Structures are given as structure tokens and as C-alpha cells.
Chains A and B, each alone.
Chain A
Amino acid sequence: GIQVEQSPPDLILQEGANSTLRCNFSDSVNNLQWFHQNPWGQLINLFYIPSGTKQNGRLSATTVATERYSLLYISSSQTTDSGVYFCAVEKYNTDKLIFGTGTRLQVFP
């Protein structure tokens, strides 16, 4: 099956710092989503981004489908950004999302 690897596994930042999270996947996909799981366990969809670049406030994401990776940028991080960030992909015609192992982000004041 398709492999989804995220790096780094853990990231510790001070408030105000910027960061880049990476997601590599092993096969062509027609769906890629980024999620944030907050410390209370809620999973929030951040981006649907099978290709190209999107921005939403301090967050932006870029997927280079031909090279099988996606990046999530967090600028001017805040303590509320803490949690686990997941990348999830769907291989063509499978109708199921495969999640990566996540990047755990801790932002300290």
C-alpha cells in the first residue's frame, strides 16, 4: 500500500517562530489533506491540497504532486498551534484516506 511519511516527528518552538512540516508519499494521489489534532483530541481539517499552493492566515501549504511531497508552513507560531499535524492521502480510485504518522508540535510562550 501507499506509504506516508512525515517529518520531523517532533518539533518544539518558541512563540513567534516559523516552521515547515513535510509529508512524503510513495505513490500518485488524487487527494491530500492536512489536519491539526489539538491537545483536546479534535481533528480539524486545514487544507485540501492535492496540488498547488493555498494560504489560510498564518498557515500555508504546497503540494508538488509530481515529486510526491507536500509542505505545511506555519508562520509566527502561537501556543494554540500546539498539537499533532497529520497529512493524509488518497490513492486514485481507492476512496480511502491513508494518514501519516504525524508531527507533534509544541509551542512555548
Chain B
Amino acid sequence: DTAVSQTPKYLVTQMGNDKSIKCEQNLGHDTMYWYKQDSKKFLKIMFSYNNKELIINETVPNRFSPKSPDKAHLNLHINSLELGDSAVYFCASSQRDTQYFGPGTRLTVL
């Protein structure tokens, strides 16, 4: 019954590696998002997709590439991971107003 789910929950990897985080929502929403929460708990939007189309890209390095195979899924692929990419990444979805967040993926780059 999970509304917005993400996998994996934890991700530990070495600098320079490539990794992906998957997100799925079963709410029937048209819009999905990726947010990054840093070590000081500051939350910032990275991307927004509406019905599989990119509508917001918040000056995120092009090592980050979102992909939306259908409107229920929004994945995040990160190339050449850097130490500064360590954070918690949240997926969210909405239908116009209220946003619903996934449980987060804690990424640690060593």
C-alpha cells in the first residue's frame, strides 16, 4: 500500500562509480520530483517531471540524469559519483497541490 516507494534505502559506494535510484508512485499522480537533503537537513528540488516530461531542472550537474519510463516511475542515475553527492535523496509526487514523499535513499560516497 506504499504510496511513493524508493529503492534502495541505503547506498554506499566509492567515488567515481555510477549508481541509480528508483522511484515508483501508485497514487496516479502526473507530477514527480527528486529532492536532495544535505547534512544540514536543507531540502532542495533537483528535477520535476510532468507526465514523463522534464519541466524543472534546477542547475543540477549533468552527472545527474533523471529518466521517467512512464508517469508512475522516475529514476535517478548518477555518473562519476563525488564525495559531495553524499546526501539523502527523496522522490515525491503530486497532483497539483499536496506533495507526497518517498522514504528517501541515503547515499554515502566514500
Q: With the chains together, A86 CA to B44 CA distance in Å?
A: 12
Report the minimum CB–CB distance from A103 to chain B (whole Å).
Answer: 11
Residues of B within 8 A of A33 (CB): 98-99
Interface size on A (CB < 8 Å)? 21
Report the minimum CB–CB distance from B8 to chain A (whole Å).
Answer: 14
Residues of A within 8 A of B43 (CB): 86, 88, 99
- Using CB atoms and an 8 Å cutoff, list the residues of chain B in contact with chain A: 31, 41-45, 48, 50, 55-56, 58, 88, 90, 92, 97-101, 103-104, 106
What 1/0 mask marks residues of chain A from 4 to 37 whose CB sits below 8 Å from any chain B CB? 0000000000000000000000000001010101
A84 within 8 A of B: yes
Contact A43 B98 (CB under 8 A): no
Q: Whose C-beta in chain A lies nearest to the C-beta of B92? A: A43
Residues of B within 8 A of A99 (CB): 42-44
Residues of B within 8 A of A48 (CB): 97-98
Q: With A41-B88, A101-B42 given, is the CB distance from A96 to B56 under 8 Å?
A: yes
What 1/0 mask marks residues of chain A from 73 to 109 whose CB sits below 8 Å from any chain B CB? 0000000000010101000000111110110100000
Contact B56 A43 (CB under 8 A): no
Residues of B within 8 A of A35 (CB): 101
